[in-house]
Structure 1
Amino acid sequence: MSEDKNTSMNLYAYVKTKRMFYEKFYINFVTAHKFVYWFEKNKNSEILFYHEIETNTAVNNEFECDYYLKVSIKSNKPQKNELNRVYTYKKENFIKYEVFDKILVANTMEDNNGKIECNFDIIYDLKLTEDISSLPEKIDFNLVITLFLTFKYLKVVRQENVLKFLEILILRMYAQQYGIDSNNKYLVLENLFKPDILKNLEFFNKKNLISALLNNFMIYHVFYEDNLILLNNSKDDYETDFFNEHISYKNLLINDYRVFYKLERVFKNVSISNYFHILLNEIDIKSLIINNFEESEKHKADFRIFKRSTVSFKSIIISNLLYSSKRILYELNKAIDLKLEYFGLCNLSVENNYFLIFLKSQKLKGIILNNVVLKIDIHFFDVYMNKNKTLKYIELKNVETMFTWIEFIDRLNIEKIILSFNSESVEENFIRGFYGLENTLGVQYLEIRFFNYRINKELCKILRNFPALQTLKLSNNQPDKKMNRKFHKVIENMKQLSTLIIEHEYFSNKFLNSVFQNKRIQVLHINNYNYKKKILKLEVLSNPNHLTHLGLRSINISASSLVQIFRLKNLEFLSLKFCDLEAIKNFKTHHVMATNIRCLNLKGSILNSFRDFDILEKLNYLEKLTLSGLQLHLCSLNKLNSNCNLTLKKLSYIWGILSADDLNRIKYLEVLIQLNISRCEFLNTSLCELGRNCNFLSSLKYLDLSYVELTLNDFLYLQSFKRLRNLKISFFRSHGHKFVFSMNSYSNNYFFSRNIYRERTKFKLIEYFGEINSSENYIFL
């Protein structure tokens, strides 16, 4: 080792030892003292904080090695001559805390005071979060710990200001670590964000830390259902179909080669790379998806994202390579620390043996090939499949293969098989491969999308080899009229079957009744894609408690069948799409026993059955409601059960007429996130009539007003939605208004226009809006 390297290592050891000494000294000093603060609300809606004059109280031994914070509401305060006033919390604070805000908004004099006990100076932390400009240039290691503790126990409010605060915190920590005058070069970021420190943060603030880091490096990103998506810019489209329900981890989707290279440049800094992966682990993002990747003379990738020792990806999916897959598969083989459970390729071709070499180097539980052309000797792929002892999940969609590995499937541990065929030849290969099997299989999940296949005796024979199935999904097939009886027998022999999704065209009512009566089936979907709608006639259900999910598509449902459906006590999901619902005579609301439905979809259905009663009155726990069509007056929003105020998160009401009563009802929804009222018409009212007291002004993120005519006041009212992220509007020339529209209530907004009318009626948003503060949200015109 060179003298310079020895000096560097000795300096590192010295700095590290010195840091550990000061940290230990500081922690011991702080934890040896007990800080007691009293607080109370005054007449000006402020919270005054007082510090006990005597501050040298020793802490119990149980707290000597750690920080702690305890909050008590409604405590008996000492005499004021024993206290010093030290801080005032106001409703205008930059960062707000739920514990204090509840006290500020309370109308009663009870519970308007309390006490905080801790072993650190929490008032200092509160002052920092009151005014972001007071954040020090040098961030102390212990400050990060106590700030996170304060966030946890005072319940920091979810707001954009928390993200801004964390952005500056990380930026200053980064500058402190790598600044010219820094003495903390070895106090690396990832040491400040160990799991024992991050445990004090709520899940949303862990996501905020990731956003803060990416924002500092100007990498645009969005979270979709806790999956992280990196985009080149705000206008890029992305596909959520990449997120595989059969892979238990959340995903990091790198959507474009340009953002891939941005991330590569950031990851040149090992500390930041490690810090990023630590945070990904904290929110269970362990699946990596690389989409639209390409290399050129200008852009050469180092693939650092594969090679860091902190990388803990359990799944990698590569999709839509613009050139050969050879390079990226070669780099995967070089990443010796990768220990994957799932690997997938989508929409590309494989021309070399790096693919098989990589497969052999991993002990995969699942392999996904979707629209992949295997330009390799398929024999070697079959050999790999035959010898693999760890595979539990196979997904092959539109892949040219001979299926010879099926001969050995009874020796494997495969639990899930998903297949999709894009040609008759591949479909026939599958039938031939399975048809010779004699042994039964332990497969629990089977999903097949046929090219164009009629259920016949061959398929029935194949399915008899799957007695352990828990889930069976068959689509794009035509049931043979003569096969009802045999197919029914196959289903009956599947003693563990709980989920059945099939297409209905020739299945008889006798067969369908047997399926509905099957007590083991909890999830049942019957889809008809033929323009002819058969009538479903259900007999009286002997046990109306087993079904939890029911989906019917394009079926005429008789009145007697609807009565049976509404008897399903444990039903949580009901979807009746494009169905004709026959009117039920003398049927009253109290006859409905399916009151636990959380998701109701009546899209495109003819709702004759709701002429005499309204189903919405009986549903106490709705979380998602979808209604559309020309008969929505038969299922009125103003009849929504009041219990839905605290549960309904997604509401879609399309092609309807909205009255003042409807708006007056939905404004009480407190947790609404998505609202779609596209193509609706307001009847003697308008959007702004929701008013300033509308309960979802602070929760709504997605609003679709496509083809809805809005007034000037409606446009101004849009500013009231504090957290709006996606807004769709159609603009009508007849307004003729020009006005100032300020979006200062949003923190990050993107505005762009999309033409949806004929040339003579096209307009740009900027012609109508005089002032726009833009950076992250979407408005479609």
Structure 2
Amino acid sequence: MNLYAYVKTKRMFYEKFYVTNLILWIFFQINFVTAHKFVYWFEKNKNSEILFYHEIETNTAVNNEFECDYYLKVSIKSNKPQKNELNRVYTYKKENFIKYEVFDKILVANTMEDNNGKIECNFDIIYDLKLTEDISSLPEKIDFNLVITLFLTFKYLKVVRQENVLKFLEILILRMYAQQYGIDSNNKYLVLENLFKPDIFKNLEFFNKKNLISALLNNFMIYHVFYEDNLILLNNSKDDYETDFFNEHIPYKNLLINDYRVFYKLERVFKNVSISNYFHILLNEIDIKSLIINNFEESEKHKADFRIFKRSTVSFKSIIISNLLYSSERILYELNKAIDLKLEYFGLCNLSVENNYFLIFLKSQKLKGIILNNVVLKIDIHFFDVYMNKNKTLKYIELKNVETMFTWIEFIDRLNIEKIILSLNSESVEENFIRGFYGLENTLGVQYLEIRFFNYRINKELCKILRNFPALQTLKLSNYQPDKKMNRKFHKVIENMKQLSTLIIEHEYFSNKFLNSVFQNKRIQVLHINNYNYKKKILKLEVLSNPNHLTHLGLRSINISASSLVQIFRLKNLEFLSLKFCDLEAIKNFKTHHVMATNIRCLNLKGSILNSFRDFDILEKLNYLEKLTLSGLQLHLCSLNKLNSNCNLTLKKLSYIWGILSADDLNRIKYLEVLIQLNISRCEFLNTSLCELGRNCNFLSSLKYLDLSYVELTLNDFLYLQSFKHLRNLKISFFEGHGHNFDFSMNSYFNNYFFSRKIYTERTKFKLIEYFGEINSSENYIFL
């Protein structure tokens, strides 16, 4: 059957698709293989090609079981035998479909040194290289040994991370489907017990494990995107998704099923047990052990079996259910039926609980953490508090906007709870929280406490409460009105927390004396002081006795005196500095060599008045910047052309908003080699344009996110956008005439699928096709 005919018939695969059976059969069958020792010599020629020569040193058959299977060794700059003793067998070119870093480095080298080498292995690697040069040469029948050696070749020759690797895997899976289709289901290679053998994935790099997942999902036409190694399943490429679901306090990556339609697609796929098992195995390989189900609903047309809960290979350690469109009864009932679930974390968000299935499920699990966010408990709250009082495994509690009596607080010392996050959404809930501490005599071993109040006026009662938490390492308080008289008491509370290293508070009435005591506290490494009042108080820091303890400092909406800035720039170990909407007073006679905080990796000066940088350029002193955020009307005082040259290899995220970009600025940033995200929205080009970055711009291959909202672009600029081959998200605005603004956003979840959220005219439509239709046109889609 023609290969492309399979692509056209993928919609028929839902019920009959056995690709994973074959993948697992190939991966896991244990065969004896006859091995030889192969030696290949290679060298670069004048035509920028790498020529391969073959020599068989030994022809002794060796029985290799899987446990000792194949090996591959690469040596650069080796003395090869005479050419008359070798056979030329292969030529590697820079146009190869799949590229290898080991060879590409040789091709681009300007020196004649290190332009040759030697490969030793016990399989025919030339055969594998030819397959990855031209995917149409893939054989009709693919066996276990080929798959193993292919991934061994990927690993040791360092396959280049490019879209073609994913395409290769997709075609490989289609070939395997063609081979597997029609095979007797009683075939011994399909027996589940033969599928689980050690070290199956040892030769797979992390990104190729992700590629295997993508190849499988692509064949089932399930749209998906990886976000910071979390996997998000979407109904279509236009769907929005929320990353707020990803909880930093759960130590696992997430699988987010974004709505009920993609949930049912996955249900149909999981009718095949082997596919389900294979999918869960791969999820486990990339540490995805947290499941998030969002926007789930059932109807007469759609009935769920919840197979995703019930397979023996399910390894989820966390499940979060969010935004149920109807009752939670059904899904909680199914969770209770999933006897193999052994969860550590469970959460409900934006829904109501009307029955006791919730408490029954909680009692069936030995949870380390429970998360309830905007949950209405239409059950007897007393029973929930009883559960909390008796639980001996909980370490982490997160309750946001939930009605509860807080009677469990007095049992915290016995329950060994280490982390508490609370959001109190009414005065009655705040009163219940305070009341929960009445009669509490023992100090608590809680290490992390985060509370968002309902505009509660902090007074002596809160200070008394905080005295019960002497073991705190992190304290975060927000949305409150501090009492003017509480400075001294709050200072004593902080001083008594001998292990406190992170403090995030809001500033309105705190005195400079209190703030100085906090800055001088040698135990505090992370300090954020936020002011949401329209009045900005002046921060006046005294000379720091030990400027080495702070690593993270965040100040918001505060006037920072010149003397305070001098002290901030003395913080030698500072890695994160955020000064949002602050007024930075000018520093007289201050030079760049006075700056000691040269290790800052993240700098945020959003909305700040930058008078202090009139006489010196802070960017010149920062050697290791990874993220830089600048916005406001004074960006000329913090010019991009002053970026330290060491940032070329470190800066990954750059936001420069409401600024003026000169030719010098563009000429400087084009040398950034690892830039992933660039936001220059609302900027104006001064006698230059975006295309002046040129074809030798160093981040043409690395850039994935580009925001050009409200930036006027020329036709050449639009054409230049085609140079960013790996762009995943683009935001641009069209200006036609005066006062007409056309917004267009282009997103790519995989393989660069583009779409427009808002279409205004047919004229705009044809422009978009003209501008973007040539970008990898065979693989891209523009939805207009």
Judging changes above 3 Å, is the alpha-carbon distance between structure 1 residues 779 and 427 closer, same or farther for their aligned structure 2 residues?
A: farther
- Residues 1:466 and 1:12: Cα distance change in structure 2 (over 3 Å): farther
Cα distance change of structure 1 residues 218 and 742 upon mapping to structure 2, 3 Å threshold? same
Shift of 1:750: 3.4
Contact 1:190/1:272 (8 A) holds in 2: no
Cα shift at 1:11: 31
Runs of 5+ unmatched residues, structure 2: 19-29
1:80 Cα shift?
1.1
Cα 1:40/1:126, change in 2 over 3 Å: same
Task: Report deviation, 1:592.
Answer: 0.2
- C-alpha separation in 1, matches of 2:13 and 2:710: 66
Asked whether the 8 Å contact 1:177–1:188 carries over to 2, the reply is no
Q: Is the 8 A contact 2:35 2:123 kept in 1?
A: no
Query: Is residue 629 from structure 1 mapped to residue 659 from structure 2 by the alignment?
Result: no
Cα deviation for residue 188 of structure 1 reads 6.8
Report the alpha carbon displacement of residue 736 of structure 1 after superposing the two structures with TM: 14
Matched, 1:208 2:211: yes
- The farther-off stretch of 64-73 and 574-583 is 64-73
- Contact (CA 8 Å) 1:232, 1:259: kept in 2 or not? yes
Residues 189, 227 of structure 1: CA spacing in aligned structure 2 closer, same or farther, 3 A cutoff? farther
Find the counterpart in structure 2 of residue 5 from structure 1.
none
CA contact (8 A) 2:34 2:64 kept: no
Could you tell which deviates more after superposition, 30-39 or 284-293? Answer: 30-39
**CA distance, structure 2, for counterparts of residue 416 and residue 439 of structure 1:** 17
Asked if the contact 1:53/1:83 (under 8 Å) is kept, the reply is no
Per the alignment, do residues 624 and 162 of structure 1 end up closer, same or farther by CA in structure 2, a change over 3 Å counting? same
- CA shift for structure 1 position 355: 0.2
SS at match of 2:361: helix
CA spacing shift, 1:573–1:647, aligned 2, 3 Å: same
Cα deviation code 1:204-246 (max 9, x no counterpart): 1111111000001000000000000000011111110100000
Distance in 2, matches of 1:409 and 1:360, equals: 18
Partners of 2:741 and 2:141 in 1: CA distance: 48
One of 506, 510, 532 as aligned partner of 1:529:
532
More moved, 13-22 vs 403-412: 13-22
Bigger Cα displacement from structure 2, 627-636 vs 726-735? 726-735
SS of alignment partner, residue 419 of structure 1? strand
Cα distance change, pair 776–599 in 1 and its aligned pair in 2 (3 A): farther
Q: CA deviation at 1:720?
A: 0.3
Q: Which deviations, in whole Å up to 9, do the C-alpha atoms of 1:163-217 show, x marking residues without a partner? A: 0011111232234333358995734799678551211111111111110000010
Structure 2: distance between partners of 1:43 and 1:247: 55
> Are residues 482 and 296 of structure 1, via their aligned partners in 2, closer, same or farther at CA, if it must alter by over 3 Å?
same
Contact 1:173 1:189 survives alignment (8 Å): no
Residue 711 of structure 1 deviates from its aligned partner by 0.4
Q: Any idea what the Cα deviations from partners look like across 1:428-457, whole Å, max 9, x if unmatched?
A: 100111233111000000000001111100
- The offset of 1:16, in angstroms, is 33
C-alpha contact (below 8 Å) 1:427/1:451 kept by paired residues? yes
User: SS at 2:277's partner residue?
Assistant: helix
Any idea what the Cα deviations from partners look like across 1:567-611, whole Å, max 9, x if unmatched?
000000000000000000000000000000000000000000000
Q: Is the 8 A contact 2:230 2:288 kept in 1?
A: yes
Residue by residue over 1:81-115, the C-alpha shift from the partner in whole angstroms, topping out at 9 and shown as x without a partner, is 11111111110100000000001111111111101
Distance in 1 (CA, whole Å) between partners of 2:782 and 2:244 is 23
Deviations along 1:627-679, one digit per CA (max 9) or x if unpaired, are 00000000000000000000000000000000000000000000000000000
* Paired residues of 2:11 and 2:220 also in contact (CA < 8 A): no
Q: Residues 37-69 of structure 1, C-alpha deviation per residue, up to 9 Å, x if partnerless?
A: 100111111111111155416789999932100
Q: Of 599, 620, 625, which residue of structure 2 is paired with 1:596?
A: 599
CA-to-aligned-CA distance 1:733-779 (integer Å, 9 cap, x gap): 14999999999999833333345999999998458767677799899
Bigger RCO of structures 1 and 2 (CA < 8 A, at least 6 apart)? 2
The 5 Å alignment of 1:260-409 reads 260-409=263-412
Contact 1:440 1:467 in 2 (8 A): yes
Alignment deviations for residues 485-516 of structure 1 (CA, whole Å, 9 cap, x no partner): 00000000000000000000000000000000
Q: In angstroms, what is the RMSD of aligned CA positions? A: 5.6
Question: Residues 355 and 128 from structure 1, CA distance in 2 versus in 1: closer, same or farther, beyond 3 angstroms?
Answer: same
**Structure 2 CA distance for partners of 1:709 and 1:152, relative to 1, 3 Å:** same
The CA distance in 1 between the partners of 2:137 and 2:566, in whole Å, is: 65
Q: Distance in 1 between matches of 2:229 and 2:695?
A: 30
Offset at 1:22? 32
Count of residues in correspondence between the two structures: 773
Equivalent in 6, 11, 15 of residue 7 of structure 2 = 15
Q: Measure the CA separation in 2 of the matches of 1:10 and 1:646.
A: 46
| SS in structure 2 of the partner of residue 451 of structure 1 | strand
Aligned 8 A contact 1:740 1:771 in 2: no
**Structure 1 residues 87 and 291: alpha-carbon distance in aligned structure 2, compared to 1, 3 A threshold:** same
- 8 A Cα contact 1:729 1:779, kept in partner: no
Secondary structure of 1:434's counterpart equals coil
Q: Structure 1 CA distance, aligned partners of 2:68 and 2:764?
A: 70
- Look up the match of 2:111: 108
Pair 1:733–1:344, CA change in 2 (3 A): same
Q: Which stretch shows the higher mean deviation, 253-262 or 52-61?
A: 52-61
SS in 2 for 1:768: helix
Question: How far does the alpha carbon of each residue in 1:662-703 deviate from its partner, in whole angstroms, 9 at most, with x for none?
Answer: 000000000000000000000000000000000000000000
Where in structure 1 are there 5+ consecutive unaligned residues? 1-8
CA separation in 1, counterparts of 2:354 and 2:61?
Answer: 71
Residues 272 and 467 (structure 1), Cα distance of their counterparts in 2 relative to 1, 3 Å cut: same
Q: 1:411 Cα deviation (Å)?
A: 1.1
Q: Structure 1 residues 716 and 195, CA, compared in 2 at 3 Å: closer, same or farther?
A: farther
SS in 1 for 2:436: helix
Query: How far is the alpha carbon of 1:403 from its aligned partner?
Result: 1.0
TM-score calculated relative to the size of structure 2: 0.92
The sequence identity of aligned pairs, in percent, is 98
Tell me the distance in 1 between the aligned counterparts of 2:5 and 2:260. Answer: 40
Check the 8 A contact 2:732/2:743 in 1, yes or no: no
Shift of 1:421: 1.0
Tell me if structure 2 keeps the 8 A contact 1:195–1:282.
no
Tell me if the contact between 2:31 and 2:66 (Cα under 8 Å) persists in the aligned partners. Answer: no
